[in-house]
């Protein structure tokens, strides 16, 4: 049986939005589910979008997500180079072969001529398709033009009649009328291939068996299949996946500043949780489980269960999943994703490492992502706390002043500031003020923290320190 090989083929733009990453995860899972190989190919044929360091960035992202690359620019492999700009002679060779065999042709049309055609199409309110002007140039005419130094592109010669169809794993049968297929450019005048050409050449030469990619390519795939046919090559299995939309229903992109993996990571989201969430975005297992390790995913992943409809990136759901992972973190890892944010937000110069660790650890079950530590702990860093309506209303009840008074004198009497002694102070207040449950804890909590909810009360009081607590009880 042929080995399953999938590839992730990002453009090196130095940015990865979660939709792209999700595609990479699907590609990885399909390869690994079948004991296959996962290849990284850099699609840098649009040199204007290239960013320095982008390849390292891609490696770093995949590495953080525990996606292991079998072959790629920084890995060994038999099918390199894995960067398209290093493969230019290959594309030229194959494009010329197509010309020789009558499946493609040289086109010398100038930008001005094409612009005119485009304008005309616009005026007539129809889609622009290249008119085949250069399709029937003679060999002599072509040679002469090349000798004269005229710039040319190589275009694919499309059939003008009939239909083309193929089966997509997710979307089923896809059919297009051939007359709608443009004689698309395969090789540009600067010698670079277009995506439309390079993807076919590379997927074939790299022995890719399953092409998983965004569904923006679903209707162009018949054109790619015509290329496979022209070369007499076997076609891969196609798995087109729906888009990931922002909550505004728009496509996620760098422009709308949405959900890039690195932004999430820098905000203290855990890569494994992001992976877990992204897989569930447009895919579901055959039960109701929602938390999966990479090994679970590799075992369970079935591309037939990928959904056709677009998915919406829902930060609340991601928060829920991430909180689940945060609860399981070792303290050190938790500190790593929280303390830098605390340092950015607050002056920690008079706080000991123990104090910071204690603070972070009592909030472990209360935060969904690392940076959230800042807002939930602000009560430890501000001089004055303001009570909201609900708190004020609660504090207006009878007997509360007395509870606070009793508690305050209990606190004043503590010499050794330990959680145990603080706990005893609360218990003594219970006896002396004759209150229990909510009427005991809530007034104290509100008075010292300004909030009705939070971590264990003695822990909070301990961290606030005697002086602050007494000040707030005044």
Q: Which residues are catalytic?
A: 254
Q: Which is nearer to ligand GLU, 10 or 370 (CB)?
A: 10
By rule CB under 6 A, what string of x and - marks binding of each residue 210-249 to ligand GLU? ---xx-----------------------------------
Select from 5-13, 142-150, 247-255, 328-336 the region that touches ligand GLU (CB under 6 A): 5-13
With beta carbons less than 8 A apart as the criterion, state whether 267 and 373 touch. Answer: no
CA distance 160 to 182: 9
Shortest reach from residue 132's CB to ligand GLU, in Å: 27
Alpha-carbon dihedral 24, 29, 31, 33, rounded to 10 degrees:
180
Q: Which residues pair with 174 in a beta bridge?
A: 166
- Other C-beta atoms closer than 10 Å to the C-beta of 316 total 9
Q: Could you tell me which residues come within 8 angstroms of residue 258 by beta carbon, excluding any fewer than 6 positions away?
A: 17, 246, 252, 313
Select from 8-16, 66-74, 180-188, 228-236 the region that touches ligand GLU (CB under 6 A): 8-16
Strand 244-245 with 153-156, pairing = unpaired
Instruction: Please report where in the chains the tokens 């500190």 appear, as a residue.
Output: 335
Sheet holding 210-214, edge to edge: 37-40, 5-8, 210-214, 237-241, 163-168, 172-177
Binding of residue 10 to ligand GLU (CB under 6 A): yes
Helix, strand, or coil (residue 249): coil
Select from 359, 363, 382, 371 the least CA-distant residue to 462.
359
Q: How far is CA 223 from CA 168, 181, 185, 199, 370, in A?
A: 14, 7, 11, 11, 46
How many positions of this chain bind ligand GLU (CB under 6 A)? Answer: 7
Q: Which is nearer to ligand GLU, 20 or 449 (CB)?
A: 20
> Residue of minimal CB distance from ligand GLU?
213
Burial environment of residue 354 by CB neighbours within 10 A (0 to 12, 13 to 18, 19 or more): exposed
By rule CB under 6 A, what string of x and - marks binding of each residue 395-434 to ligand GLU? ----------------------------------------
Select from 6-14, 66-74, 166-174, 408-416 the region that touches ligand GLU (CB under 6 A): 6-14
Select from 3-11, 59-67, 221-229, 391-399 the region that touches ligand GLU (CB under 6 A): 3-11
Shortest reach from residue 8's CB to ligand GLU, in Å: 7
Please give the backbone phi and psi of residue 455, each rounded to the nearest 5 degrees, phi first. Answer: -65, 180
Q: Which is nearer to ligand GLU, 240 or 472 (CB)?
A: 240
Q: Which is nearer to ligand GLU, 129 or 243 (CB)?
A: 243
Q: Which is nearer to ligand GLU, 221 or 319 (CB)?
A: 221
Q: Which is nearer to ligand GLU, 220 or 336 (CB)?
A: 220
H helix or E strand, kind and range, residue 241:
strand 237-241
By rule CB under 6 A, what string of x and - marks binding of each residue 140-179 to ligand GLU? ----------------------------------------
Among the listed residues 199, 260, 377, 429, the single contact to ligand GLU using CB under 6 A: 199
Q: Which is nearer to ligand GLU, 158 or 212 (CB)?
A: 212
Shortest reach from residue 261's CB to ligand GLU, in Å: 14
Q: Could you tell me which residues come within 8 angstroms of residue 279 by beta carbon, excluding any fewer than 6 positions away?
A: 22, 25, 26, 29, 292, 297, 301
Q: How far is CA 81 from CA 38, 40, 42, in A?
A: 15, 11, 10
Please list every residue from 25 through 44 that binds ligand GLU, using CB under 6 A: 43
Shortest reach from residue 105's CB to ligand GLU, in Å: 25
Residues at the site binding ligand GLU, with contacts judged by CB under 6 A: 9-11, 43, 199, 213-214
């Amino acid at each position: 049986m042929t080995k399953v090989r999938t590839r992730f083929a990002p453009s090196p733009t130095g940015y990865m939005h979660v939709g792209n990453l999700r595609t990479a995860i699907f590609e990885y899972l399909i390869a690994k589910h079948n004991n296959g190989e996962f290849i990284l190919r850099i699609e840098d044929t649009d040199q204007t979008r290239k960013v320095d360091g982008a390849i390292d960035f891609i490696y770093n992202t995949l590495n953080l997500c525990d996606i292991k690359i079998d072959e790629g620019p920084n890995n060994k492999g038999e099918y390199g180079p894995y960067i398209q700009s290093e493969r230019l002679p290959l594309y030229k060779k194959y494009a010329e072969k197509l010309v020789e065999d009558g499946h493609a042709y040289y086109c010398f049309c100038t930008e001005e001529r094409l612009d005119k055609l485009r304008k005309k199409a616009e005026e007539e309110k129809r889609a622009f398709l290249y008119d085949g002007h250069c399709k029937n140039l003679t060999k002599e005419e072509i040679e002469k033009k090349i000798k004269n130094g005229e710039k040319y592109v190589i275009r694919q010669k499309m059939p003008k009649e009939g239909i083309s169809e193929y089966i997509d794993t997710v979307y089923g049968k896809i059919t297009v009328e051939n007359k709608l297929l443009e004689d698309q450019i395969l090789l540009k005048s600067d010698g670079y291939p277009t995506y439309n050409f390079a993807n076919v050449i590379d997927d074939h030469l790299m022995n890719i068996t399953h092409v998983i990619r965004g569904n923006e390519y679903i209707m162009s795939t018949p054109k790619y299949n015509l290329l496979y046919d022209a070369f007499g090559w076997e076609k891969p299995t196609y798995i087109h996946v729906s888009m990931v939309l922002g909550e505004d229903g728009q496509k996620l992109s760098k422009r709308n500043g949405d959900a890039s993996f690195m932004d999430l990571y820098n905000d203290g989201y855990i890569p494994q949780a992001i992976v877990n969430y992204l897989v569930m975005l447009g895919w579901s297992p055959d039960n109701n489980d929602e938390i999966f390790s990479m090994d679970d995913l590799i075992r369970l992943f079935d591309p037939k269960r990928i959904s056709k409809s677009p998915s919406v990136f829902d930060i609340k759901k991601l928060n829920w999943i991430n909180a689940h992972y945060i609860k399981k973190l070792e303290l050190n890892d938790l500190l790593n994703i929280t303390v830098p944010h605390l340092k950015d937000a607050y002056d920690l110069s008079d706080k000991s490492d123990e104090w910071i660790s204690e603070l972070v650890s009592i909030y472990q079950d209360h935060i969904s992502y690392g940076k959230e530590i800042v807002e939930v702990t602000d009560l430890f860093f501000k001089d004055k706390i303001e009570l909201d309506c609900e708190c004020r209303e609660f504090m207006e009840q009878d007997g509360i002043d007395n509870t606070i008074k009793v508690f305050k004198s209990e606190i004043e009497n503590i010499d050794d500031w330990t959680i145990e002694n603080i706990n005893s102070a609360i218990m003594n207040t219970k006896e002396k003020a004759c209150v229990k449950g909510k009427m005991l804890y809530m007034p104290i909590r509100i008075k010292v923290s300004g909030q009705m909810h939070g971590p264990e009360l003695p822990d909070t009081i301990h961290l606030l320190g005697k002086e602050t607590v007494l000040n707030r009880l005044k």
